[in-house]
Amino acid sequence: MTFFADCQARVAADLLSGRWPMVVLYALSHGPARPGELREQIGGISQKVLTETLRRLEHYGLVQRRRYAEAPPRVEYSLTKPGEDLLVPIRALGDWAAAYADRIPTGRKP
Amino acid sequence: MTFFADCQARVAADLLSGRWPMVVLYALSHGPARPGELREQIGGISQKVLTETLRRLEHYGLVQRRRYAEAPPRVEYSLTKPGEDLLVPIRALGDWAAAYADRIPTGRKP
């Protein structure tokens, strides 16, 4: 594992940066879900932002979209194997944050 | 651990986003180091960017700066306890990236 100038871990951290990617991945950890179910489960995310986030996660191969030819058509998202494995560092970040986040200054970067 | 709209893990992920924070934290995992030593160890980072990164990590309480009243004065950075504990998720991200990064499309976000 090379960790210096070519640090690959930052690829993963960049995938997870921003408000929603981790939240959506975690919401999918309970199994496949329809966009409406995800919105309800997550709370506070607009349909537009959820769609964009899912599209981005799909682009990165972390979730897959399945469309069922029903009437009305049903769409479900689920984690891929890489997406599921990414829950390991996500949980580790969550544990760290649970211990320390209230000591970390938020707001603008210095 | 709340993981939905108020997801705290993203605080941690945001701290780590960008090219350098994880690299610098990891470089400090071997013990306290002077800025010049860090630059040499990391490679490919300018003095300006290293200084900015260290200042940001210090602001977040992840590293501490110690100044020794020698001639010439010596400055050393080291990890704080929160910074050291953040190596756990950083290593988990590194393991994930080592397994999957070559499958993840890089470049512009979709």
- Per DSSP, the residues of chain B read ---STT-SHHHHHHHH-SSSHHHHHHHGGGS-B-HHHHHHHH-S--HHHHHHHHHHHHHTTSEEEEEE--SS-EEEEEE-HHHHHTHHHHHHHHHHHHHHGGGS--SS--
Return the domain boundaries, chain A.
9-97
Are A8 and B82 an interchain contact pair (Cβ–Cβ within 8 Å)? Answer: no
Q: What is the ipTM of this complex?
A: 0.81
The CATH class for the domain spanning B20-98 reads: mainly alpha
For chain A, say whether B63 makes contact (Cβ under 8 Å). Answer: no
Question: Alpha helix locations (H) across chain A?
Answer: 9-16, 21-27, 35-42, 47-59, 81-85, 87-100
Which CATH architecture best describes the domain A9-97? Orthogonal Bundle (1.10)
pLDDT tens per residue across all 110 residues of chain A: 344 445 566 677 777 777 788 889 999 998 999 999 999 988 888 999 999 999 999 999 999 999 999 888 899 999 999 999 999 998 898 889 889 877 777 655 55
Question: A47 to chain B, minimum CA–CA distance in Å?
Answer: 14
Are B8 and A110 an interchain contact pair (Cβ–Cβ within 8 Å)? Answer: no
CB atoms < 10 A from the CB of B76, how many? 17
